[in-house]
Structure 1
Amino acid sequence: MLNSNDYLSECFPGVILGPSLINQWKIHLHFEFAKGLSVHMDGSDDLNPRYFEKVFSQALSIFNSIFSDDDQVFLIVNLYKENDFNYKSKLGLYLKYISNKNVRFRLQQSTLPYPFPPEDEEEPFNCHTIQYSLKCLKRDIQTPFILKTLTNRDFPSLKPRLSNEVGMQYPDVFFVNVSKNIIFFMHDDYGCEIISKSLEALRPLYDKYRDLICSYCKDSIDELLSDA
């Protein structure tokens, strides 16, 4: 059975799963959620529920525009650990959001280099990535719950939340659509990154969600699609 590393090497050569996918791959889109809404209520430190509702609904809408129930998917999660930390447990996300235990049985775990460059180049690398990968169908995944945890990731008072499993930081979650050769990465409540092997696969997303494209990358995306 094709594993996630073999698939990525074949379809997205050179791409390392981590933040800033769009800086690694030419064919991409970057969407910004809840434009025009504030995280906080006016004149208050209270969180704005309308903001989080809009983030979640837009993330789910974009996701469902990419993934169909029968699409083959790699659900991949990165945990970032210090080298001297001994960690062998399975990731709780797969227990909570993959209900079929026969599907969960296919979960694979690997240890990879840390994807972030050190701020001080002379400082020794003392961390690594534990990557979990599960090949399944889109319908096997309770996607709304995962997207909700990603919406809430930077706000400890909000539920549901994905445990960081004693990692150095919050896990990164990647949905890799093997059937359509598209990767969806919601980095936080701000937005999501999408890369694709095919430019034409992104055009319907561009047309449908044009107003959500990040302003600082809109010109480059417009140019990319107009040249096709």
Structure 2
Amino acid sequence: MDIVKEMTHGPYIRYELGLQNLVGEAYRCESLRRARTIYRSIFEPEDNVIFIHRTSYYRCDRQAGKVRLKRFFRARLPQVRSRILPYEFDELDEDLCTREWSVEVKAKEIRVPYLLEAIENTDFMRKPASGGRIYLYNQTKDILFHMYDDRGCDVFSSDKNSLLPLYHLHRKWILDYNRYEIDGFLGKGLAGIIETGEEQKNRRKYNDRKAADLGINLRRANICHITHYFKIPSIHADKFEEEISLTSFTVQRILSTDDQVTFTAAKTEALALIDYQTHLMSMYGKKYGSYNGWSIL
């Protein structure tokens, strides 16, 4: 059985670890803090875990498959299994392949701080380094944990009910880019709020016109403070504010009348990502009231 392949086709949550508004050691510390917190929410010391380490390389390069695993564990390793798989990112690619090592241990036997730091260092040329992609499958809870680098981690399960406690516990850390899809998988938040084809067409047309008016090239680096505007009936205002506050957008009331509240929700991000932002924000507007466009600073 290919655990990774099976699990990654089911319900998931993607968490944001590294924050764009932080740099240097502050960025690194926050990323590791979040990773450790999420890990501890999933694994208990006596849980049965399959530790999976994968590297991909050209089939003709036999030396590329070597890796040191014992450094990730507190005690002597039990039997380690190894196998060659089709290239995990494109099984039809005959030039590349993926080598997998796996070992069954108790969660308490894993050197978790060292492991997470090694993954964190992947893109920074620092030691320790993971030397590949690492997946931790909690057999006891049927949850797969995969921190892919300093930016984020994915949590998968074949049963969405196993993910719901994690969804509620760390909802604010869910990557906004994937939030709408995740809500749909889990039947929470924006689940059931649908954008019609005509609404999508009009939204994207508005975005293109707005970007053109601003003279911004969406294909270049263009970090902006993007503010979205809403008009929400007063009876829904508190619930709207609560739900937006569980994203990484900053929500603010700017005007209240007897029957309506005007809100803003703001986030600093590349304007090239305006499509997902306006989709997400317009769905919140549709759920609670109306969405009235965006501006930048």
Q: 5+ residue gaps in structure 2?
A: 192-297
TM-score by length of 1: 0.75
> Which residue in the other structure is 2:123 paired with?
154
Query: 1:15 aligned to 2:6?
Result: yes
| Aligned-partner SS, 2:90 | coil
- Preserved contact between residue 107 and residue 132 of structure 1 (Cα < 8 Å): yes
Q: Name segments (4+ residues, structure 1) moved above 4 Å.
A: none
Q: Take 2:164 and 2:158, find their aligned partners in 1: how far apart are those partners?
A: 12
Number of residues of Structure 1 aligned to a counterpart in Structure 2: 189
> Which residue in the other structure is 1:43 paired with?
none
> Which residue in the other structure is 1:199 paired with?
160
**1:149 to partner: Cα distance:** 0.9
2:103 pairs, out of 126, 130, 134, with 134
> Which residue in the other structure is 1:167 paired with?
none
Q: Take 1:89 and 1:153, find their aligned partners in 2: how far apart are those partners?
A: 17
- Preserved contact between residue 50 and residue 102 of structure 2 (Cα < 8 Å): yes
> Which residue in the other structure is 1:168 paired with?
none
Query: 1:49 aligned to 2:33?
Result: no
Which AA in structure 2 matches 1:201?
Answer: S
**1:115 to partner: Cα distance:** 1.3
> Which residue in the other structure is 1:96 paired with?
71
> Which residue in the other structure is 2:87 paired with?
114
**1:89 to partner: Cα distance:** 7.0
**1:100 to partner: Cα distance:** 1.6
Q: 5+ residue gaps in structure 1?
A: 41-47, 165-170
Residue by residue, what CA displacement relative to the aligned partner does 1:98-130 show, whole Å, maximum 9, x if unpaired?
1321xx131111111111239xx8xx6212111
User: Structure 1's 115 and 137: CA in aligned 2 closer, same or farther, altered over 3 A?
Assistant: same
| Aligned-partner SS, 2:123 | coil
User: Structure 1's 71 and 90: CA in aligned 2 closer, same or farther, altered over 3 A?
Assistant: farther
Query: 1:175 aligned to 2:136?
Result: yes
Q: Take 1:98 and 1:58, find their aligned partners in 2: how far apart are those partners?
A: 21
Q: Take 1:222 and 1:86, find their aligned partners in 2: how far apart are those partners?
A: 43
- Greater strand content: 2
- Greater helix content: 2
TM-score by length of 2: 0.59
Looking at both structures, which has the greater relative contact order when contacts are Cα pairs under 8 Å and sequence separation is at least 6? 1
